[in-house]
Chains A and B, each alone.
Chain A
């Protein structure tokens, strides 16, 4: 049984939970698998570093919390610092280039995007998380582009679907433009390591 673990972190107001919700929805409902999302909840969730975790699996997710982190999406420096050590040596780092200055381990796949600036260019900085999501989607190839877009349409507030899809595609295209068909500069493959005992 495949098991993949993801953590998304950022600061309050960046839409960390919505991003997690869309990933979970896309993977479980749209792609027919299982996805368990746990919000990091409590006083810390009100402060600067906000976080949500997902466990993805083709069958029932038994252990709902993280065991070995396969992918970290960091939208803020604080969040990155707080959780970077949890990431597997071969785990993927996806980060906001202007806000996170990563210290990478040898051979670690890492993908940066200027998602905040791109969102500003689109006209609404609030969709920064969806730009990041589009980028993450392109990096990881978890489900099809159509499934991602369905999950977004079903998750965002009514009337904002087009704006969010535009943001998603901007993030997706950024990957194609900057990472040459899936390879980060000087680095190897991007797929989340699978085939671990659940």
Chain B
């Protein structure tokens, strides 16, 4: 076969393949902006898995997608909002939670998810995170924890385990990291869970619960970052990281969140730690309080928002 013929044959094959791909839509395609594929995440990155589980949760719940909004900050996970086919906002670094707060209070009927990374939510956005939990703000926060600032090139994060290597702790991290489920629970989160990218079904179920509960719901997903975290720490490939989860994850539902801190290459406790369905939310508290003290004079914002129109 001549070189030209070879090329033509290869092109023909590609075209056939393309047609097949178009014909057979991925089950979660309706939830994804397929016109933006392929995504920017590295091979073996865990974020895609988390997105798939979130989309499955939306599908399983048959939620009205028109009323679900998603907000991201900056970073690898910060790109999630950009790939979800719903009202989606890719905001500034660390400010996804307060942006989401405005969305929720501006139109209370919205079901708002914040989807961002450990550095974004617990580093630069840490103050917003704790205050949002404190005031029981009605948002679901999905935090993908890969133990490192990945998009900027592997710098130390508030979640980097003691002793782990990062580009700004080249001799190993000596700062104790956050125990995020404990942080969220102690500040007032109504729902707190942690899973890894290995736990597809449990993660999906947690997202379903998170989307249906009210108040400040926090789900931490431990995700592999082979490009930076694993490489810097000589932990192998994405597959090695998942195998690590197989061996080192312990599921302990309802465990005291003080016990779930993460040490370098030691066990990771997963499970549903808090699920308080009785807790009242910011909006419920505000409405009930004003109804009590102001009576008939109180006018609450309508579910579809405070916009003024003809």
Q: So, do A and B actually touch in the complex, CB under 8 Å?
A: no
